[in-house]
Each structure stands twice: as structure tokens, then as C-alpha cells.
Amino acid sequence: MKSPNFGPYHIRKWYLQIEDTLATESGMPADGDPLRKIVVGAVLHNPYAGRHEDNLGAYIEPSNLLGAEFGRRIRDAAAGTPIESYGKACLVGADGEYEHGNALLTTVFANPVRDAVGGGQSWVPSTGKRGGPGTVIDIPLAHKDALYVRSHYDTVSAMFNDAPNRDEVLIAFAFATRGRLHARLGGLKASEIVGDGLN
């Protein structure tokens, strides 16, 4: 067992990925500010690697500590720019179960991140899979306050060159500062959101 270095968790490494899109794939300049996508990730030792555990509560319950740190890091990376959309993901090393990654993506973890980006009315889209170092994962994005805002349906691809190892779990949270450039599929606009945006 690796010694804890962040609450009850052993974190080997933090990651930060930032990309700015200034024009569409056809070369059309941005209709307003560029689209910035940010991915914050952490790779943790998986204490359940290689064995089955019925109760994952010891992994889930303190994950608000991870969420608070993810929140701090996204605030730093955004540097005052408002966040409009988000999504989360996990990558589980070969000796672990997909369930081990999902244990770190519950609302216990996500709520402090919501707080850090100024609240979030809608649920956080999520994905995950098992894989080794260098696995690419596509993280879904949706508007943080209204799931049905089509302009903010998007994806960010992330790759972590040295993680996860067989006995590790990598968790990531992705964010975007706006919807897609020149989104034109109709539907509810971000400026029209009322309440939770579901009506």
C-alpha cells in the first residue's frame, strides 16, 4: 500500500491541459471569444486493484477533498474567465474495475467542483473506461446550468502519457468557457435558461 499524501489518497501526479480554438474546422473565425477547453486530472493509487471489494465507501466518502482541490485548480486555470460547461471521466488501470473509477465521480466529488465554477444546475456528463498509459479518453461536455443547450454539446480529448499504471485510477474534469464556435442547431440558447433549464 502506498502511503497517503492527500487525505486518505495517494496521488502520484496532477495534470493540466488547455486548448484554445480560434476558428472552425473550415477556417471561420470565432464568433466572439475563442473557445477554451481545460482538463484537470489526477492519478491515484487504487487500493482495490487486483481484488473485489463490496463496499467502496472508504473511497467515495472523502472524495469531496479531491473535488475541492479540482475546484481550486480550475479556478486558477480559468484565471477569472467564467466556465459555462463541464464533464468528468475516469481511466482505470488494468488491475482495477471500472467501478473503482466511478466511485470517485459521484456527487460527493462533483459538488465542490460545481461550487468552484459558480454553481451548476445540471448533472455532469460522465464517461470512463479501463486502459493503460497513453490511453486517449473523450470527455463529454454540456452546459453546467441546462443540459438541453445544444450549442454546448461538445467533447474534449485528453491523453495522459504515463498514467494510469495497472494499480492506479485517473480521474479528470473537463471545462469549457463557451459553446461551440458558430453553433447553429437551434434549440434553447444559454441566454434563455430559466431555473434548471429543463422546461
Each residue of 123-169: pLDDT tens digit? 899 999 999 999 999 999 999 998 889 999 999 999 999 999 999 99
Domains of the chain, with CATH numbers? 11-192 (3.30.1330.110)
Three-state SS at 67: helix
Q: How far is CA 173 from CA 75, 116, 127, 158, in A?
A: 12, 12, 11, 10
Q: What pTM value is reported for the model?
A: 0.94
Give the whole-angstrom CA distance, residue 66 versus residue 42. Answer: 9
Task: Categorize the per-residue pLDDT at 27 as very low, low, confident or very high, splitting at 50, 70 and 90.
Answer: very high
Give the pLDDT confidence score for residue 198 in this predicted structure: 55
Amino acid identity at 150: R
